[in-house]
Structure 1
Amino acid sequence: MTKKPLIISTDPGIDDVAAMTISLFSKELDVKMIVPTWGNVPLKYTLQNTLNLEKFLGTTVPVVVGANQPLVAPAISAASVHGKTGIAGFELPEADNSLVKSGLAATLMYEEIMSSPEKVTLMGIGPLTDYALLLKQYPDVVKNIEEFVIMGGNIGRGNHSPLAEYNIAGDPEAASVVFNSGVLVKVAPLEIGNKAHVTQKQMAEIKKHGKVGDMLYSMFSNIHEPDGDTRIKIFDPTAVGIMLHPEFFTMKKARVDIELTGRFTYGATSMDFLNEETNALIATDVDVDKFAGWFIDSVELAEQGQK
C-alpha cells in the first residue's frame, strides 16, 4: 500500500498530541515533516512539546520551526484550557533539538512538497499562519498539494468569540489565504469536534493501551473546557478522521470565506452550502461510535509501534 505523504502544522496542545500520535503510527500516512506554530500557547512551548512527544514515541520525523505570531492580529492563547505549556497532566521527557531542521518553514515545506513524486497533503490543526506564508512566498506550490485538511471553523456559534472558532480566529487572514488558494480544503469544524467524543468508560479502556494510552488518558483528563462539559471531546483527531475515514462523516460541499472586517464577527467562518462556486468539503455530521472505535484502535496501533 502506498502511504499518503503528509505535512502537519500543529500547536500542541493536548488534542494535537493525539492527532500527531495517530498520524505518526498510521499505516496509511507517511509524515514527512511536523511544523509547530504558535497557537494554543506560544511557539517556544509548542516546539518543545513536539520534540518531547517524538522522544517519548521514539519517532524521528524532522521538525521545522514555524511562525511565532499571526500575520496581522495580536496572538491569542488557550492556556486556560491546555495549561501554561500546552500540555497538562503528563510529563513528557525533555528532548534536545536534534530533530530540528534549520531554515524557514515556508522554504523547507516548499522543497519537500516540490521534490515529492506524489502530491502532498497538508494538515492544519492550529492557526494556518505557516501554510499562508508558504502559499504567498511560493504560489506555484499549489500544483503539488493534494489537499488541505484542517480542524477549524464553525457552522454556527464559535468557541473563541460568539461567531469564531479558535484556530481560525487565531489568524483569520491566514485562513483566508488557504481557502482562496484554489486547493480543496477538507474541514472538520467545531461542531464535529463537539460531537466526536469518547466516553469515560472508553477512556478507561484507552488507559490500558500501554504508555501511549496512559499518556493520552492523563492529558485528556486534564482538559478544562470553558463550558464545563465533562465529555471527552476529540477535536484535532477529527482532521485525521476525515482524511482517512470519510465514510464516518457526512461531507457537504460549500463555499467558505473568512470574515476579516466585522467588529463582532472578525474570524468567523462563512460556510455557504448553497453557493455553487465551492472551495471546501465540510463535515456536517459524524458516526460517533465508529469514530470512537477508530480512535481507540489507533491508540492501540501507536502503542504496538512502541514494541
Structure 2
Amino acid sequence: MSTKHTMIIDTDPGVDDALALMLAAYSPEIELLGLTTIFGNVSVEQATKNAGFLVSLMPKSVPVAQGAATPLVNDLHPYPDFVHGKNGFGDIAVAYPADFKPDPRSAAQFIVDQINARPGEVTLVPVGPLTNIALALHLDPSIKTKVKQVVIMGGAVYRGGNVSPAAEANIWNDVHAAQVVFAADWPIVMVGLDVTHQTVMPEARMNAACANSPKVGAFLAKICEFYANFYRNTAGFDGFCVHDPATVVQVLRPDLFGTQRGQIEVVTEGLALGKTLFGPAGFMYAEPGWGKRTNVEVCTTVDSEGVLKFIEDVIKTAP
C-alpha cells in the first residue's frame, strides 16, 4: 500500500508547471492541499489565472492562494515569454473559468495555516521563485519544525546556470528569498539543473502519452509544442527539460535520484547573482561560515528514463 503525500505546490505556471500540476493531481499517492502562486514565468496575476484554469482540469478542486508580485529586495526581472509564451501556456487560446475565485488568504498565510493544521505531514513543493516561502517563514518561523520536507525546483551545483553561467532562474528571480529559505535549517531537497538538464522529454513521446487524453492531454500537448520549440531553437534538443515535473516525481520516487547532503548558500550580488554554493557535509573548510548546517539534500544524479516513464504513465491516466 502506497504512502499518501500531503502537498502544497507553490507555482508560476508556466508550461512545465502545468505538467507538474497535472502529474500531482492525477497521482493517487498525492493529496494536494492547494496551490500558491508567485511571479516568475509570468506575473503573479497571470500565474493565479493560470492556476485557476489548471484546477478546472483536476479531478478534485483545490484552493489557489495568490502570492507575492515582486522579489523581497531586488527589482523584478522581465518575464521569459520566449520560453513559456506571454500567457505562460505557449500563447494558445485558453477558456479560463468565469467562476474562479482565489482563496482570500495570501499565499504565505495559506502555507502557514496548512502546515500548522497538519504538523509533520505537509510536503511543500516550490517550483518558482522562493518569495512566498520566505514570507511564510517570516509570518511563522515555527513552520520549519512542523513541515515534513521542502522539495525545491531550483539551483545548480555541479552544472552552470540557465539565466547566467552561474544561476538557475528560480533562485535568480529572488536571491534574498532563496537565501532565507536555504538558511532556515529545515529539511530541504534541491532538485536543480544537475538533474533536470539530464532529463529531456522528447516531443513525440509527450504527444504519444497525451494522445488518448482529450481534455488534459490535448492541452498539455499544445502548450508543450511552444516549450519544445524553445529548447530546439536554443539548445538543439529534441524535446524539453521536465524541471518542475521531475520535482514532483522526486517526492514520489526518491529512489530515482542520487543525493549529496550539505549546506547551500546563495550569492546575492555581483556577476554570480543567484549561484547556489554547496558545501558537502563532512568537509572541513577554513572559512568559518561553512559547516553550520547540513539541511539540504542536493540531487546530483537521476534515472532520467525512470522519471520520464513515471510522468508518461500518469499522464496516460488523465481524461
TM-score tier (shorter) = over 0.9
Tell me if the contact between 2:48 and 2:102 (Cα under 8 Å) persists in the aligned partners.
Answer: no
Which ranges in structure 2 are unaligned for 5 or more consecutive residues? 284-290
Moved more, 67-76 or 164-173: 67-76
C-alpha separation between the residues in 2 aligned to 1:154 and 1:53?
28
- After TM superposition, the structure 1 = structure 2 runs for residues 1-307 of structure 1, keeping only pairs within 5 Å, are 2-76=3-77, 77-88=79-90, 90-96=92-98, 98-116=100-118, 118-155=120-157, 156-211=159-214, 212-223=216-227, 224-225=230-231, 226-261=234-269, 263-273=270-280, 275=283, 277-301=293-317, 303=318, 306=319
Summarize the Cα distance change of 1:113–1:288 in structure 2 as closer, same or farther, 3 Å threshold: same
C-alpha separation between the residues in 1 aligned to 2:256 and 2:212?
23
What is the root-mean-square deviation in Å for CA atoms of aligned residues? 1.7
Moved more, 206-215 or 244-253: 206-215
Summarize the Cα distance change of 1:6–1:265 in structure 2 as closer, same or farther, 3 Å threshold: same
Which residue does 2:286 correspond to in 1?
Answer: none
2:64 aligned counterpart, secondary structure? coil
Tell me if the contact between 1:55 and 1:93 (Cα under 8 Å) persists in the aligned partners.
Answer: no
Letter in 2 for 1:144: K
1:210 aligned counterpart, secondary structure? coil
Q: 1:256-279: per-residue Cα shift (whole Å, max 9, x none)?
A: 110113x11111111222545412
Letter in 2 for 1:91: A
Letter in 1 for 2:75: P
Tell me if the contact between 2:25 and 2:58 (Cα under 8 Å) persists in the aligned partners.
Answer: no
TM-score by length of 2: 0.89
Q: Deviation at 1:60?
A: 0.9
Identity of aligned residues (%): 28
2:156 aligned counterpart, secondary structure? coil
Q: Deviation at 1:239?
A: 0.6
Tell me if the contact between 2:5 and 2:122 (Cα under 8 Å) persists in the aligned partners.
Answer: yes
C-alpha separation between the residues in 2 aligned to 1:98 and 1:215?
19
Q: Deviation at 1:117?
A: 5.4
Tell me if the contact between 1:195 and 1:288 (Cα under 8 Å) persists in the aligned partners.
Answer: yes
Would you say how many aligned residue pairs link Structure 1 and Structure 2?
Answer: 302
Q: 1:145-178: per-residue Cα shift (whole Å, max 9, x none)?
A: 0111011001221111110100000001111111
Q: Give 4+ residue runs of structure 1 displaced > 6 Å after superposition.
A: none
Q: Deviation at 1:255?
A: 1.3
Q: Deviation at 1:92?
A: 3.1
Tell me if the contact between 2:112 and 2:139 (Cα under 8 Å) persists in the aligned partners.
Answer: no
Moved more, 36-45 or 88-97: 88-97
Tell me if the contact between 1:23 and 1:29 (Cα under 8 Å) persists in the aligned partners.
Answer: yes
Q: Deviation at 1:216?
A: 1.6
TM-score by length of 1: 0.93
C-alpha separation between the residues in 2 aligned to 1:200 and 1:33?
29
